[in-house]
Homo-oligomer: A and B are copies of this chain.
């Protein structure tokens, strides 16, 4: 049996986080010691590893809830898993693209600033007037 601290050390997350996962129903309630402390099994440990791994890949808690429930039934067709992963990858791709647009614009602003006084600073000037932007980054 593992204490909450064992699991925390093992997965690199904090005890508070594990309690939080329990509270939102992502981790099942474990057994308790005589003194009311949580006592986990290997199954709990595996589940927490799964959760942390999926989180580290950027899946949302709701995604993970679904992945866990899908993975429960070994004989189910895995197309739903596949679809969820693809959806997430596409969202990551979109996010990368929008960040690259931002970076292009930031680079341009920084490159055009030749030092000197704030009154002539290109960065401030561009921030004051979106029409000076070239990359068409969205204002919203």
User: Which A residues fall within an 8 A CB radius of B?
Assistant: 11-13, 46, 49-50, 52-54, 56-58, 67, 70-71, 73-79, 81-82, 85-86, 88-89, 92-93, 95-96, 99-100, 102-103, 105-107, 109-110, 113, 115-121, 123-124, 126-130, 137-140
Cβ–Cβ < 8 Å partners of A56 in chain B: 137-140
| Inter-chain contact A78/B123, CB cutoff 8 Å | yes
Residue of B with least CB distance to A100:
B96
| Inter-chain contact A82/B110, CB cutoff 8 Å | yes
CA distance A74 to B125 in the complex (A): 11
CA distance A26 to B88 in the complex (A): 35
| Inter-chain contact B86/A110, CB cutoff 8 Å | yes
| Inter-chain contact B85/A119, CB cutoff 8 Å | no
Cβ–Cβ < 8 Å partners of A127 in chain B: 50, 53-54, 57, 67, 71
